[in-house]
Structures are given as structure tokens and as C-alpha cells.
Amino acid sequence: MKTNVKFYHAGCAVCQDAEKNVANALDPEKFNVEVIHLGENNSRIQEAEKEGVKSVPALVMSGNAYHINFGADLSALK
């Protein structure tokens, strides 16, 4: 069984770079990475907040939020 991972982003340059170099670098044998564009899916902002996401880009893995550098605050996407 692979572990599900979420990568939240908002299409910004910092986000795109983190997706390419970090999210895509995760071991495909162990992880399924779901990529979620919060700018296009506002309805999922609440879900991200519940998982502890404060800004994008961010990975949610093993129940924890990992903010990777800083692209945009979640509040700016509402």
C-alpha cells in the first residue's frame, strides 16, 4: 500500500518550482502524490487548513503539513 500525500499549491512560481523539484522527487514506490491547485479549487482550502497548512506550496504527509519556502498565504486564496 502506498501512502497518500497531498501537494497544495496556487500556481505561483515558488509553487511550480517546489512541485517540480520536491513533490516529484518523492519515492513513487512508496507515495501517491495528489496535486491540488487551491486557486482553482477554493472548496478545498478548508481541508488544507484542517491539515495545518498555512501557506503554499505545502506537502501534507503522515498527518503533518510541510511548508516549502513561501509562495502565498492561504488567506490570500479565499
**Is the torsion defined by CA of 57, 72, 54, 48 positive or negative?**
negative
Of 18 and 45, the one with the shorter C-beta distance to its own copies is 18
**Cα 73 to chain center, whole Å?**
12
Q: Least CB distance from residue 1 to its own copies, whole Å? A: 15
Interaction residues for its own copies, span 13-42 (CB under 8 A) = 17-18, 21-22, 25-31
Eight-state DSSP code of residue 78:
-
Q: Which amino acid is at 62?
A: S
Applying CB under 8 A, which residues contact its own copies?
A: 5, 17-18, 21-22, 25-31, 59, 61-62, 64-69
